[in-house]
Amino acid sequence: MRFNSKALASLSLQTNMKFDKEGIVWMKDKQDGLFKKGEAFVERFCRLKGNMLFYFKSKEFTNTDPLGVLIIERCTVELDTDDENLHGFMLVYEGDENPVHFATRTEEQRDQWIQTLHIASYECLKMQLQSLREQLVSKTGHDPLDRMPQQDTCSTNTPDLSGEEPCVEICIAAKDLPNDRTGQPPNPFVMITTITPPQQNWTLNSHTEIIERSNDPQFLKTIGFGMNIKLKTRVKFTVYHVNERMTNTMSQLGYVMFDLKSLLAKPDKKLHLPLMSPDSSAAGQIQITAWVHDESILIEDNSRGSVSYGEKLQNRGLGNLKIMFSNPIKKTFRFDTNKARMQLFVQEVMAEFKWNYTLPLQLLKLFIEEERERINMLQDLGELVETFNRCRQECLDFHMSSVTMYTQSCRSLSTATPQESLFKASSIKADKEYEFVPINLHLQRMQLIDENTNTTCCYDCITHGSLAAFSQKFKCGGLLRILEDLREMRAPEGCHGKQSKLDRACHLLNCLASLKHAVHFRCSRLCRVAMQGTAAELKEAMEQLNLQVNTIVFYCFPFKFIL
């Protein structure tokens, strides 16, 4: 479990906060003194807040951090009958053989602590909440609290519009939403459901983003309806206040229902409707703005022409990139501009690469062919001497093992290719079966569309994970080790040095190269003088050669030369 010790200590020392229960209890603790060994009950001051039980050394804890904290989860509270002279109880955690023992002065205090700790865990609160919700549903017919759906446009409960462009698109704005129970502006969130007669059940269509602390939210994400929408389709907007993102709970502020025909019949394609709260009182207003991309939806019968619709939206989505990418996920947004009646239409698209698994398979097959060609070349060498024959056998073993490894990877990759998705997530990056598949490879496209002129401007970005062999576990270091070594080579040496290791190495190589020619020249001169010259000339040639050799020794072994 990860926690912030300073934040927990600050929470335990709060004086203006009401704790669920606090008081003096005895805790069994280890005694490791000179004359005391074993376990004994020690007086502690405990404070319970939620599912966290803080315990202090004494009641005077103003500027003293707690000795520890116990998380009341996955545990049971039981009576402790080992010591009959104390009114004890204990916390027994799952998988832990050493329970935490407590004791109180009286039996009444013990029962109070047991009762309070019983209902302190999150699981117990969750069961109580579920029980209360069932009671409310049985009495009122609806649930005032609802689980917040995941922020995912490709949810299984949401119609998949990724393969088609919406024929109707709407934008939502709310006004005068009520505050929450603390008097703060709500965190509004709208869930859209539809029903088309003679259907009996509402279908979740989509949802908006969450706007933080606003009574008049303007939702930027637009809601699209596909080709299966009809004029008689009824749409329901349910506005929620997100109480807590951590637990995904929210409370309903209000709802409104309308049919699509009443919205599209308006000349400006706008509706202003009052929101009704669960107790049938006013809960603000909601404004709906629609854009019709397929005019055939305005026709009552089912004969719709799609030629103009396809021409109008030919520049949206993936376009020609559908040849290489599939399974697109789309989000659309509209922003107001300085021009009157002019909005900026932005579409975000994320798609998977179709050949994410095909290209690695083709590459592995090429590797196998190359290794087999090398094996054939080595076998065609014929009879060789023992030394060369041993080297050839080592090369044959290496290439055969490479063929075996590539063949096994190719076979496992062919059987492991997923059917529903072509995307390799980072969660399986260390899986040996997907070793040759790139990680998180996908296309990200942002489009800006001018609907008046039907022009599109887009920005494409191909992203992928680190090109590293995660399945090899990096026993000898990876790319970071190489970059670190290179950085050290280029870093200046010493506190005031301006020359890096790489510069010094280049300078040393240049000096040794020049000294190599100088030593060769001095040796040749020494040989000529020894054969034809005098003793004085021979002595001079030897001194010059000795100077060049000492210079080489100095560059190669500077410390030994000094000594």
Question: Is the model's pLDDT at 386 over the cut of 90?
Answer: no
Alpha helix segments (H runs only) across 141-231: none
Contact 170, 273 (CB under 8 A): no
pLDDT at 179: 92
Name which residue leads in pLDDT, 142 or 182: 182
pLDDT at 121: 87
SS3 content of the chain, % helix, strand, coil (to 5): 35, 30, 35
Q: How far is residue 211's CA from residue 186's CA, in Å, rounded to a whole number?
A: 9
Tally of CA atoms within 13 A in the half-sphere of 95 that contains its CB: 2
Mean pLDDT calculated for residue range 357-366: 90
CA dist 462 → 232, 304, 350, 358 (Å) = 42, 37, 10, 18
The partner residues of 189 in beta bridges, in order of sequence, read 240
pLDDT at 351: 87
What do you get for the CA distance between the two ends of the chain, in Å?
A: 58
Q: How far is residue 246's CA from residue 237's CA, in Å, rounded to a whole number?
A: 24
Residue 510: enclosing H or E segment and its boundaries?
helix 501-532
312, two tokens? 């109008």
369, two tokens? 């062919």
- Nearest CA to 511 out of 562, 554, 543 is that of 554
**Structure confidence at residue 53 as a pLDDT band (50, 70, 90):** very high
pLDDT at 86: 75
Question: Is the model's pLDDT at 341 over the cut of 80?
Answer: no
- Nearest CA to 21 out of 111, 83, 88 is that of 111
Q: How far is residue 118's CA from residue 542's CA, in Å, rounded to a whole number?
A: 98
Q: How far is residue 21's CA from residue 138's CA, in Å, rounded to a whole number?
A: 33
- Nearest CA to 120 out of 84, 76, 56, 183 is that of 76
pLDDT at 193: 92
Give buried/exposed letters for 66-89 (b at 16+ CB in 10 A, else e).
beebbbbeebebeebeeeeebbbb
**Structure confidence at residue 153 as a pLDDT band (50, 70, 90):** very low
> For residue 144, what are the contacts with CB-CB under 8 A and spacing of at least 6?
133, 136, 251, 252, 278
**Structure confidence at residue 46 as a pLDDT band (50, 70, 90):** very high
Contact 113, 24 (CB under 8 A): no
Question: Is the model's pLDDT at 162 over the cut of 60?
Answer: no
DSSP 3-state assignment of 19?
coil
Question: Is the model's pLDDT at 22 over the cut of 80?
Answer: yes
Instruction: Name the least confident of 172-186, 367-381, 490-504.
Output: 490-504
Name which residue leads in pLDDT, 559 or 325: 325
**Structure confidence at residue 561 as a pLDDT band (50, 70, 90):** very low
Question: Is the model's pLDDT at 160 over the cut of 50?
Answer: no
CA triplet 248, 251, 257: central angle to 5 degrees? Answer: 115
Biggest CA–CA distance in the chain, Å, is 125
User: Where do the structural domains in the chain lie, given as residue ranges?
Assistant: 5-124, 168-294, 501-560
- Fold identical between 5-124 and 168-294? no
> How many C-beta neighbours within 10 Å does residue 445 have?
20
Instruction: Name the least confident of 214-228, 291-305, 387-401.
Output: 291-305
**Structure confidence at residue 271 as a pLDDT band (50, 70, 90):** very high
Mean pLDDT calculated for residue range 96-113: 89
Contact 410, 368 (CB under 8 A): yes
**Structure confidence at residue 84 as a pLDDT band (50, 70, 90):** low
DSSP 3-state assignment of 44?
strand
Mean pLDDT calculated for residue range 212-238: 89
**Structure confidence at residue 365 as a pLDDT band (50, 70, 90):** very high
Contact 429, 465 (CB under 8 A): yes
Question: Is the model's pLDDT at 215 over the cut of 90?
Answer: yes
Mean pLDDT calculated for residue range 297-326: 59
CATH of 5-124, one of 3.30.70.240, 3.40.50.960, 3.40.50.2300, 2.30.29.30: 2.30.29.30
Residue 307: enclosing H or E segment and its boundaries?
helix 307-312
**Structure confidence at residue 308 as a pLDDT band (50, 70, 90):** very low
pLDDT at 239: 94
Beta strands in 82-156, from DSSP E residues, in sequence order: 87-93, 100-104, 145-147
Q: How far is residue 308's CA from residue 27's CA, in Å, rounded to a whole number?
A: 78
Question: Is the model's pLDDT at 279 over the cut of 50?
Answer: yes
Tally of CA atoms within 13 A in the half-sphere of 331 that contains its CB: 15
Contact 179, 216 (CB under 8 A): no
The backbone region for 129, taken as left when phi is positive above 0, alpha when psi lies in -120 to 50, beta otherwise, is: alpha
Q: How far is residue 236's CA from residue 253's CA, in Å, rounded to a whole number?
A: 14
Q: Does domain 168-294 have CATH number 2.60.40.150?
A: yes
Question: Is the model's pLDDT at 315 over the cut of 60?
Answer: no
Q: How far is residue 286's CA from residue 257's CA, in Å, rounded to a whole number?
A: 11
Residue 332: enclosing H or E segment and its boundaries?
strand 325-336
Residue 459: enclosing H or E segment and its boundaries?
strand 455-463
pLDDT tens digits, residue range 138-149? 887 766 665 444
Beta strands in 16-67, from DSSP E residues, in sequence order: 21-32, 37-49, 52-56
Q: How far is residue 202's CA from residue 377's CA, in Å, rounded to a whole number?
A: 70
Question: Is the model's pLDDT at 310 over the cut of 50?
Answer: no
Q: Which residue has the tokens 């009824």?
A: 234
**Structure confidence at residue 216 as a pLDDT band (50, 70, 90):** very high
Question: Is the model's pLDDT at 150 over the cut of 50?
Answer: no
pLDDT at 192: 93
pLDDT at 494: 55
Name which residue leads in pLDDT, 76 or 322: 76
**Structure confidence at residue 438 as a pLDDT band (50, 70, 90):** confident
Q: How far is residue 252's CA from residue 190's CA, in Å, rounded to a whole number?
A: 10
Q: How far is residue 422's CA from residue 357's CA, in Å, rounded to a whole number?
A: 7
Q: Look over the chain and give the mean of its residue pLDDT values, rounded to a whole number.
A: 80
Q: How far is residue 57's CA from residue 66's CA, in Å, rounded to a whole number?
A: 7
Beta strands in 140-281, from DSSP E residues, in sequence order: 145-147, 168-175, 188-195, 203-207, 223-225, 234-244, 249-259, 270-276
Q: How far is residue 234's CA from residue 193's CA, in Å, rounded to a whole number?
A: 9
pLDDT tens digits, residue range 398-421? 999 999 989 988 888 877 655 556
Q: Best-predicted range by mean pLDDT among 29-33, 305-309, 485-489, 540-544?
A: 540-544
Mean pLDDT calculated for residue range 384-390: 85
pLDDT at 124: 84
CA triplet 507, 512, 516: central angle to 5 degrees? Answer: 150
Instruction: Name the least confident of 38-42, 168-172, 233-237, 311-315.
Output: 311-315
